[in-house]
C-alpha cells in the first residue's frame, strides 16, 4: 500500500497521507527537560570558584593569626580572644542602650549617611566639571592645572578649614568626603568625553542637537564606562575619608568608635570594627560596579 509523505513548510511537521484517508500531522516529541542536577551544576561550580577560595584564605589567615598571637610576647589578641571580648558587637550589631552606647550597625549607618550626601554631591559636580573640561579646550587649560594641584592635598588637611568654615562636625565631614571623591570623577569623566568618537559628534550635528540634548544623549552614554570607573574610585576614597575624619570630629560614627576604643585599650573592638569597615567598603564598590555594568550594558569591567 503506497503512501505520500508531505512536510509543512511553516511548522516543520511531517504529514503522512494514506490512500483513502485524510492527511494527519504527526506531532514532534517534546524536548526532554534537563535533570535538576545538571541545572544546579553551574551554580555550584560558580560558588566553588568564587566563594571557596576566599573562605579558605580567611581560614588560613585566622589559623596563622591564632598561632602567632597565642605566644606570651604577642601584643595583639588571637581570634578566639577577640570573639570572647567582642562577641556582642558581632552578634548584636543593632543594639541600642543610649545615644552613645549603640551597636556597630547603627554607627556604620551614621557614617554611610554622611558618605551618601558627600559622594552624591561629588558625583553630580564631578560629572559636570569633567564634561566641561573634556569638551572645552579653554576649560581644560584653565581648570586642569588647578585640579591636579588640589587633588594631591590629603583629605584630612581640609578638615581644619572645613571646621573653621562650617563650625560643625557634620557638614565638615561631608565636605571632606566631597573634596576627596570629586577628583577621580572629574578626571575620568573628562577622559571619557575626550574619547567620544567623532562619528557621534557628526551625528549630533546632523540631528541639530542642542547642548542639553548632546550632553544627555551623546556625552553621558558614551563616557559612562569612564564615569563609573571614577565613581568606583571615589566611593572607596569617600569611605576611607569618613572613617579618618570621624576620628577627629567625634560623634557616633564608626571612625570615632575606633578612636574611643583605642583610648580605652579595647583592641578586640578595634579589630572587629576594621572588619566591618572592610566589608562595607567591599559592598559599596560592588554596588557601584553592578550599577555601572547595568547602565553600560556590561562594557564596564569589574
Which range marks the domain in which residue 277 is found?
89-295
pTM (2 d.p.): 0.77
* In a domain? residue 206: yes
Confidence of residue 40 (pLDDT cuts 50, 70, 90): low
Helices (H), 51-103: 52-69, 79-85, 87-91
* In a domain? residue 67: no
* In a domain? residue 68: no
pLDDT given at position 248: 84
In terms of Cα–Cα distance, which of 292, 148, 184, 171 is closest to 242? 171
DSSP notation for 275-289? HHHHHHHHHHHHHHH
pLDDT given at position 38: 62
pLDDT at 75 over 70: yes
Q: What is the CATH number of the domain that holds 118?
A: 1.10.3720.10
Contacts 24+ apart (CB under 8 A), 89-95: 89/269, 89/272, 89/273, 90/272, 93/276
pLDDT given at position 6: 45
* In a domain? residue 75: no
pLDDT at 202 over 60: yes
Written as nine digits, the cell of 29 is: 516529541
* In a domain? residue 241: yes
Q: What share of the chain is helix, strand, coil (3-state, %, to 5)?
A: 70, 5, 25
* In a domain? residue 253: yes
pLDDT at 177 over 50: yes
pLDDT given at position 5: 46
Mean pLDDT value of segment 53-62: 89
With vertex at residue 130, the alpha carbon angle to CA 129 and CA 134, rounded to the nearest 5 degrees, is: 120
Number of domains, the chain: 1
pLDDT given at position 227: 94
Sequence-distant (≥ 6) Cβ neighbours of residue 200 within 8 angstroms:
218, 222
* In a domain? residue 79: no
Distance CA 230, CA 182 (A): 9
pLDDT given at position 30: 54
With vertex at residue 216, the alpha carbon angle to CA 214 and CA 222, rounded to the nearest 5 degrees, is: 85
pLDDT at 18 over 60: no
- Using a pLDDT cut of 90, give the percent of the chain over it: 42
Task: For residue range 116-161, list pLDDT tens digits in order.
Answer: 999 999 999 999 999 999 988 899 999 999 999 999 999 889 999 9
pLDDT at 23 over 80: no
Task: For residue range 88-100, list pLDDT tens digits in order.
Answer: 888 888 888 776 7
pLDDT given at position 8: 45
Mean pLDDT value of segment 19-26: 52
Cα 150 from chain centre: 25
Least confident of 89-98, 217-226, 235-244: 89-98
Confidence of residue 272 (pLDDT cuts 50, 70, 90): very high
Amino acid at each position: 500500500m503506497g503512501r505520500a509523505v508531505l512536510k509543512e513548510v511553516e511548522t516543520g511537521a511531517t504529514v503522512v497521507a494514506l490512500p483513502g484517508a485524510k492527511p494527519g500531522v504527526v506531532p514532534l516529541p517534546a524536548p526532554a527537560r534537563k535533570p535538576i542536577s545538571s541545572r544546579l551544576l553551574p551554580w555550584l561550580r560558580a560558588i566553588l570558584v568564587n566563594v571557596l577560595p576566599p573562605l579558605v584564605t580567611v581560614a588560613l589567615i585566622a589559623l596563622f593569626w591564632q598561632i602567632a598571637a597565642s605566644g606570651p610576647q604577642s601584643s595583639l589578641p588571637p581570634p578566639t580572644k577577640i570573639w570572647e571580648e567582642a562577641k556582642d558587637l558581632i552578634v548584636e550589631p543593632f543594639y541600642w542602650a543610649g545615644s552613645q552606647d549603640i551597636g556597630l550597625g547603627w554607627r556604620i549607618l551614621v557614617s554611610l549617611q554622611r558618605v551618601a550626601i558627600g559622594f552624591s554631591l561629588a558625583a553630580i559636580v564631578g560629572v559636570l566639571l569633567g564634561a566641561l573640561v573634556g569638551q572645552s579646550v579653554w576649560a581644560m587649560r584653565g581648570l586642569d592645572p588647578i585640579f591636579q594641584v588640589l587633588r594631591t592635598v590629603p583629605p584630612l588637611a581640609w578638615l581644619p578649614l572645613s571646621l573653621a568654615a562650617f563650625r560643625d562636625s557634620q557638614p565638615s565631614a561631608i565636605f571632606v568626603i566631597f573634596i576627596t571623591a570629586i577628583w577621580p570623577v572629574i578626571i575620568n569623566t573628562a577622559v571619557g568625553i575626550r574619547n567620544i568618537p567623532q562619528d557621534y559628534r557628526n551625528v549630533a550635528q546632523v540631528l541639530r542637537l542642542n547642548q542639553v540634548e548632546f550632553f544627555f544623549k551623546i556625552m553621558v552614554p558614551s563616557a559612562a564606562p569612564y564615569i563609573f570607573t571614577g565613581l568606583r574610585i571615589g566611593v572607596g576614597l569617600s569611605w576611607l575619608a569618613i572613617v579618618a575624619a570621624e576620628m577627629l570630629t567625634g560623634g557616633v560614627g564608626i571612625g570615632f568608635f575606633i578612636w574611643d576604643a583605642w583610648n580605652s585599650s579595647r583592641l578586640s573592638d578595634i579589630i572587629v570594627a576594621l572588619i566591618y569597615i572592610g566589608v562595607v567598603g567591599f559592598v559599596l564598590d560592588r554596588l557601584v560596579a553592578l550599577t555601572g555594568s547595568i547602565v553600560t550594558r556590561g562594557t564596564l569591567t569589574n
